[in-house]
Structure 1
Amino acid sequence: MRIALPVDPGLKTASEVATIEFVRQETDMPLPNTLAFDCSNQNILGFEWVLMEYVRGRPLESGWRDIPMSKKAEISESARYALGAMVEVAFFWGDRGHQRLARGPFKNSYEWLLTRLSLVIEEKAKILATTKDKDAMEDAEDSKSIAAQLVHILPSIIPPEDNEQSIIVHNDLSTNNILINDAGDPIAVVDWECVSALPLLRACQYPQLLTGTIQHRKPDIEEYGIGDLY
């Protein structure tokens, strides 16, 4: 059971539930079933909540070194809804959830990046107006200046009138959020809160489970210490 703080009231829970169901219908990704949920805080708990199926498995992180390379390769390869306001940490962190700003859906990378840069400029301007710390002011001034320059050149990099496809990006696709059974088969991908439909440029990166130290040869388990095995 997931109980959510009111960081983005209503939308955060509704987005998580809708994203899971959309991915279930459009892909063959293994996902836990949503049994019940409440997007409001008008209930006995006083918070939004989601009740999900319990999946009997263990995080991929704890079993990664035990499963064969063939299983690792399988894991690595592995409508009725509408796009709405962006439910992403950058849009509700701090007091941003109460600000009047464009929250999407965005038609292209230009609109999305412009909003993100505008958030930076506004945040740094607020710091400059409220702090007397010299280092903080210098950092805020530099960040604000860089963001303003990026806003100026953005139209020359990404045409504002272009229409682009978006893609659902699970921003925490780590080995902790992929559950496997004893045979090493993936049985569920979990933690779908704050998963958003983002510009295609956000898809041009490796998921967290495939990032880390570059290995030029197959790891030898005999070379690892006890603390490195889990």
Structure 2
Amino acid sequence: MDEAANTLFPELSGLKWVRTLWGLEPRWVVEPDGIMVVETVKSTLNIRSACSIEFLAEGAFNKLYVIRSAENEVVARVTLPVDPKWKTLSEVATLRWVQQNTSLPVPEVLGFNANRANPVGFEWIVMTKVPGRPWVDSWQEMSFAAKEQVGIGNLFPNLTPTRDSSLPEPGTEERATETNNSAAIGSPRHERLETGGSLSQNFGRMGAAAPSTPGFAIQRMVSSASIGIDVDPTLSRGPFATSREWLSARLDLTELDCSRRLNRVLGSDPVDVRKATDNSNTAMIETGTPNNGEDNEKNEETDDSTDDEDEDGDEDDDPEDLENALKIIAKLRAQLPNFFPSGGPEKEPSVIFHDDMNRHNILVDEAGALTAVVDWECVSALPLYAACQYPPFLQGKPLDVEPIKSKYQHDENGNVAELYWEHLEDYELTQLRRLFLAEMQKLQPGWVSIFNSSQRQRDFDLAVSSCDDPFMIRRIMGWLSDLESGAEGFQGLEERIDSSSM
């Protein structure tokens, strides 16, 4: 562990950042103490009997453990200090808001501590253990009708703005916090969040106690895009009143990061652990191999080969990529008024939307029925242009022709090639998207109207999110070139990506 990083920011000890091909990734330097995790759970829930602990899963920022006693079985979620205090508070508030305002099955928060000055040494949340296994593990064996029931029959009613509400023009995205009169995913009320940030509640104290007041409030955003080292404290973290304000803040953040990385590559800033001011998120940084972009929780213990990983994956940033990213950012700034003109409402509406609700985070039982939706950290209150799109579990490559199993290669045991299953998944998702839109047209035609009219805004948002991605730079620059030329009928950015991957 680098003592300089600990000395500068003791609240970040136990954390280091690894620069991979996919960007910055956090790593554990100090493992959570299992004994302290058990004792903390027993104290929080007033359990007097003996307890056992079992590793359950690991996500990008968390380690999950099952704590079992004679009376109960719960999950302890221990988190890295990637965004001290705010990430835990927002996740707790979001789970409680969803539980109070929707019928979506989610884990119940039993206790938490957003201050790492506790026996575990890290922030933690204790929640109920929900049954089921990830939908992705049951996908192949489920019938199409069962998939339709989970995705459209069970999840659909809780993913969209309420059917009795009017849908105004697109608004803002950032993880939201809200008040008693706001509404989003499945809420019975029709009033909407009018700012983008992250959900939080007013808590009298940490632990198992209920909040001091039942209300929610919009605070600064908690977003995976804004989590990392050296986040300048002068940059806006929200809450944001408009899409334009939020997108501009994201461009500021990426521009600062690319400029610093370019300076280091060019030799003007060679220090790996750098001083920052105020609450800047500074920690040790190394280079390493990517984890293939997998942010979903892995149901296996991670090995302790971090040092080997770092040594094997010493990939420097490409200065040309960083220079092109900065050029793209400048062009996106110039185009921002064309996509999000001023003169709209002072506070745009937004909707709480789980933008990581993929099939890894949806749990089903043995019969294929929905049991829970998990992983609610960094969930945002999205502007309507971003919320009115296909949910993540329905996204995929378009394929209209049903694959015929007999036409694919089989091995000596008669097992069909994996390519068949990939094509079948693409085909089924294409059909499910059509059914989803048809259902939306019947129940919420305003949603479909925004979906159909907001592709330009979604393309711009995608460019902002991916402007420093080496695999996306060429496509974004081509899209911007067509845009600046004034040409008509050219492919949108999302369409270019879909067509290139087919």
TM (norm. structure 1) is 0.88
Match of 1:207 in 2: 391
Q: Distance in 2 between matches of 1:221 and 1:87?
A: 45
Q: Cα RMSD (Å) of the superposition?
A: 2.4
1:124 shift after superposition = 2.0
Bigger Cα Rg: 2
Q: Distance in 1 between matches of 2:86 and 2:404?
A: 46
**Structure-2 change in CA distance of 1:157 and 1:209 (3 Å):** closer
1:226 shift after superposition = 7.7
Q: Distance in 2 between matches of 1:214 and 1:137?
A: 35
1:1-230 correspondence to structure 2 within 5 Å? 1-77=76-152, 78=155, 79=180, 80-96=215-231, 99-132=233-266, 136-162=318-344, 163-218=347-402, 225=416
Contiguous gaps of at least 5 residues in structure 2: 1-75, 156-179, 181-214, 268-315, 409-414, 423-502
**Structure-2 change in CA distance of 1:136 and 1:65 (3 Å):** closer
What are the Cα deviations for residues 32-60 of structure 1, in whole angstroms up to 9, with x where unaligned?
11111111101100100011111121111
TM (norm. structure 2) is 0.42
Does the aligned pair in 2 maintain the 1:111–1:160 contact within 8 Å? no
Residue type matched to 2:234 in 1? R
Q: Which structure exhibits the higher relative contact order, with contacts defined as CA atoms closer than 8 Å and separated by 6 or more residues?
A: 1
Q: Distance in 2 between matches of 1:104 and 1:44?
A: 32
Q: Distance in 1 between matches of 2:377 and 2:106?
A: 13
Q: Distance in 2 between matches of 1:207 and 1:194?
A: 16
Q: Distance in 1 between matches of 2:229 and 2:391?
A: 27
Q: Distance in 2 between matches of 1:142 and 1:194?
A: 29
Q: Distance in 2 between matches of 1:226 and 1:141?
A: 42
Q: Distance in 2 between matches of 1:201 and 1:215?
A: 25
Does the aligned pair in 2 maintain the 1:108–1:160 contact within 8 Å? no
What are the Cα deviations for residues 89-109 of structure 1, in whole angstroms up to 9, with x where unaligned?
11122322x532111111111
The residue matched to 1:142 in structure 2 has which SS? helix
**Structure-2 change in CA distance of 1:131 and 1:29 (3 Å):** same
Matched length: 228
1:193 shift after superposition = 1.0
Q: Distance in 2 between matches of 1:116 and 1:62?
A: 35
The residue matched to 2:318 in structure 1 has which SS? helix
1:217 shift after superposition = 4.4
Q: Which moved more, 1:68-77 or 1:49-58?
A: 68-77
